[in-house]
Chains A and B, each alone.
Chain A
């Protein structure tokens, strides 16, 4: 799910970037904020950081003793994407293996759907392997699939979420693109 979040944050401006003109300062703070936001990538609590939508408040700057940087407390609004257990989502298959398929869903690169969680689908090997059920419904690379999330995992080092998916439930499975 995409979320709209409001976050307090501290922006550090190196002394040499301080400018007497107020307008330039606001611009410098915004640029620093955007850079810090993009390099943050994701957190366990809020998920993937997409974009800043507005800079709502800039507090009073405080000079840091040792570095001479100026720290500005700011409040901004932004957008994140978090994947929840129990959530029903749609994704795109990007890899088909004997034991299951990997799907992409928003910024999450690896949502794994094991063959155990789609028991009516059989693996058909070949140059372009596919999973197919008795109703000839196919899951292959580029197929859009609606699934339920049965587990999520945050990986601190990679700053990445992984998820496990299942097709066990009503109205889940491959979907046709309009």
Chain B
């Protein structure tokens, strides 16, 4: 367990360096890792042997847990979420878990409703609706 102030992602207590760090959604990681893997395939007979165990497990994971596959859709999802004054961490949790209702979104990202932030249920619903449109037309 981490030191001084207790870590809690639900309250965005994850350390300054991570709050400022760029987070990546599973679907973005999937695009990057798959591209890397294809590059390896071109130069190696047995690409799986060339990658680390960490790479291999992560690739399998993001392939299974990416809600969006098409690069254009992935880009649009980040664009839609970026309009809503979210931290990088919040943005990626929403992009990964794809909640269906505002209530579910707040359960997944409780910090949406803290510190007097102006995320009304209507604004959240609108955002989720825009995301589901991307999914439908993918």
Interface residues of A (CB under 8 A from B): 1-5, 38, 41-42, 48-51, 53, 79, 81-82, 84-88, 90, 92, 104-107, 109, 144, 146, 148-149, 151-153, 169-171, 177-178
Contacts and interface: CB of A to CB of B under 8 A. Distances in A.
A50 B55 contact: yes
A31 to B, nearest CB: 12
Given A86-B10, A104-B57, A105-B61, A51 B23 contact: no
B36 A51 contact: yes
- The interface size bin for chain B is 35 or more
B113 to A, nearest CB: 13
Contacts of A144: 64-65
A155 B129 CA distance: 42
12 contacts: A38-B51, A49-B54, A51-B33, A84-B9, A85-B7, A85-B8, A88-B93, A88-B97, A88-B108, A106-B62, A171-B104, A177-B64
B21 A38 contact: no
A38 B52 contact: yes
A106 B21 contact: no
A106 B97 contact: no
Contacts of B33: 50-51
Interface string B111-133: 00000000000000000000000
Interface stretch (B24-32, B41-49, B72-80): B24-32
